[in-house]
Structure 1
C-alpha cells in the first residue's frame, strides 16, 4: 500500500465511523514510521498516566521509592471522580469492619492506575511523586511537548467549572444546546490549556520503555512494561488485533468528545510497533463502539503497512 493509499484508508475509516484522527506509529526496531499530524499537540486524557508510571518506575529503580512501600489511604483522602478502581468505592476503604483505612503498596496502586485507569490511585501517586518531577523526567527524556498541568481531580474540577454541571449529572449524556456549547469549550479539550503531548512523543515514550539497553534503567523499563501489559480494555487497539498471539500493552484515554489509546503491539515473529491514536467524535454518548473501534482499525492499517516495508 502506498502512503497515499494508507491515508485514504484512514480517511474512509474516519468517514464511516464519524471521527477525526491524529496518530503516529513506529517500528521500534527499524525506525519505519507513519503519522497523521504526528507533531500536533493533543489532549492525552488518561494516557497522561504513562509519564506518571515512567517516573514511578524510575524511582523504584534508583531506590528512592520502595515498590512494596505501603500507602496509607484515609477514607476521605483523594476522593477523585472516575468509573473504575478506588474511585468507584462508595464505602470506607477498609481491611475489615474494625478499620477505617487501608494500606496498599505503591506498586499495586500503579497497577490499578494503569490496568483499569483508576483516577484515585493516580492522584495518590502524583501526590507522592510531584507533577514537577514527572514533567522534569519527560524533559530529560527529550519529550519537550509532554506536559502535565493537572492531576485527575484538577481535570474534573475544570470540567465542572467550565460546564457549570457536576460530572455525575445525567445532562452530560444528553445535553441541550447551551450545555453542548459549554462542553465543547472546556479547557480539558484544549491542548494549550491542559495536559498535553503529541502522538510522536507518546510513541517515543513507549519506545523508551521497550529499549532494554537505553537511557532508562532496565529495572525501570521491565516494571513499566509489566504494568502496561495488564490493561484490561479490549475495545480499542485490541479490536484491530484479535489474534491473541499478538501482545498489546497500552493505555486508553477518554474525555467528552475524545477517545485515545497508545500501546506497544508485539507480534510472535518479534515485530514491535508503538502506536498512538487520538480520535475526536461529535457525539456525547459515552458508549460509542464505532469511535472505540476506529482506534483499532486505524492502528491495524498502519501496522500492516509498517510490516509490509520490512
Structure 2
C-alpha cells in the first residue's frame, strides 16, 4: 500500500473514532503478507479483558510442557469467587469443572471468575514470562480480575455508581492508566494473534483449540459487526472497563485472507452503554482490513 493510500486510510479511521466520540488506537496485520496499517499502534493501552488472551496462551504453553493438566477438575467455591455477569461468575452454587473448560468460559463469555481460577494457577508472573518468551516486552499483567474490581472500588470510594454521573472520577481510576494496570500495545497483540494463527504461540493442537474458543465468543456487537457476512469468520476477545471498549481478533475470508486486528477505544462519556463506540470498533476494523486486501492482479 502506498504512503498516500495509507494516509487516506488513517484519515478515515480517525474520522470513524471522532464521529463515535472516542479516541482510538488500532493495528491491523495481514497474517500472510505482513502488510499492516495502524493508528497509535505502539501506544500503551489498558487491555481490560483482552488480556485474557495472554492468560489463555500461557495456560496452553504450560500444558504443552506438562506443567499443567488442562483436564484437571477443580472446585470453584462461592466464597471468594470473582463477581461478574457471565459464566461461573454469575452462578450461585459451587461449580466443579476442568481447567480447559474454565478457559473456554474465560474466552467465550469473558467469565471473570473462571479467568481468576486460571490466574491463581499460573500466576501473573507466569503470564508475563510467557509474553516475554514470545517477544512481547511491553505486554504486562498487573492485576487479576478481582484486583481490577477492587481497585475500581477503592478509587471510587466504594461508590461505583458515581462513575455514571461524575466524568471527573474516571481520572482517578488506576485501571484506565496503562502505566498502572494490565497493558500492551495494539501491535503486540496482533503479533500474539499472529503467533497463535501460525501455531507458534503453542503446539498446533492447543493453538487450534484456542482459535476455536475465540471463534465461539458470543459478542457480535464490536469487531464482528464490521463483517456481517456468512462466509467471513471473526474470532475475537473483547475488553470492557468504564469508558473503555476494546476488541482484538482475527478476520478470515473464504479466499484465504487472514487479518489480525486490535482496536482500543476510550470514550469521553461515562455511560455504561456505549453503542457508538462498539460500532466504531467494527467499522474501523473493516476499513483497516479492506485497505490490506489488494485485488488480484493489482499488486501491493
- TM bracket (short chain): over 0.9
In the aligned structure 1, how far is the partner of 2:153 from the partner of 2:18? 31
> In structure 2, the residue corresponding to 1:15 is in which secondary structure?
helix
Task: Tell me the equivalent position of 2:171.
Answer: 184
- Confirm or deny: 8 A CA contact 2:247 2:281 kept in the other structure: yes
Aligned partner of 2:9 in structure 1 is 6
Contiguous gaps of at least 5 residues in structure 2: none
**Is 1:216 aligned to 2:218, yes or no?**
no
Aligned to 2:116: 123
User: Is the counterpart of residue 114 in structure 1 residue 107 in structure 2?
Assistant: yes
CA contact (8 A) 1:111 1:230 kept: no
User: 2:18 and 2:215 mapped to 1: Cα distance?
Assistant: 31
Matched position secondary structure for 2:184: coil
Q: Which structure 1 segments of 5+ residues have no match?
A: 94-101
Map of 2:141 onto structure 1: 148
CA distance in 2, matches of 1:163, 1:215: 38
Aligned residue in 1 for 2:130: 137
Find the counterpart in structure 2 of residue 37 from structure 1: 40
The two structures, once aligned, show a CA RMSD in angstroms of 1.4
Deviates more, 1:13-22 or 1:248-257: 13-22
Match of 1:82 among 81, 84, 95: 84
TM-score by length of 1: 0.91
Tell me, in whole angstroms, the C-alpha distance in 1 between the residues paired with 2:221 and 2:89.
21
Cα distance in 2 for residues equivalent to 1:287 and 1:84: 17
Tell me by how many angstroms 1:215 deviates: 5.8
Counterpart position of 2:155: 162
1:103 Cα deviation after fit: 1.3
Mapping for residues 16-27 of structure 1, pairs under 5 Å: 16-27=19-30
> Counterpart of 2:274?
288
Deviations 1:231-272 (A, max 9, x none): 010000011000021111110000111100000111100000
- 1:196-235 matches, within 5 Å, as 196-212=183-199, 214=200, 216-235=202-221
Cα offset for 1:219? Answer: 2.3
User: 1:215–1:110: structure 2 CA closer, same or farther, 3 Å change rule?
Assistant: closer
TM-score, with length taken from structure 2: 0.94
Number of aligned positions between the proteins: 293
Report if aligned partners of 1:61, 1:219 keep a CA contact under 8 Å in 2: no
Runs of 4+ in 1 over 6 A off after TM superposition: none
Structure 2 match to 1:103: 96
Distance of 2:260 and 2:208 partners within structure 1: 16
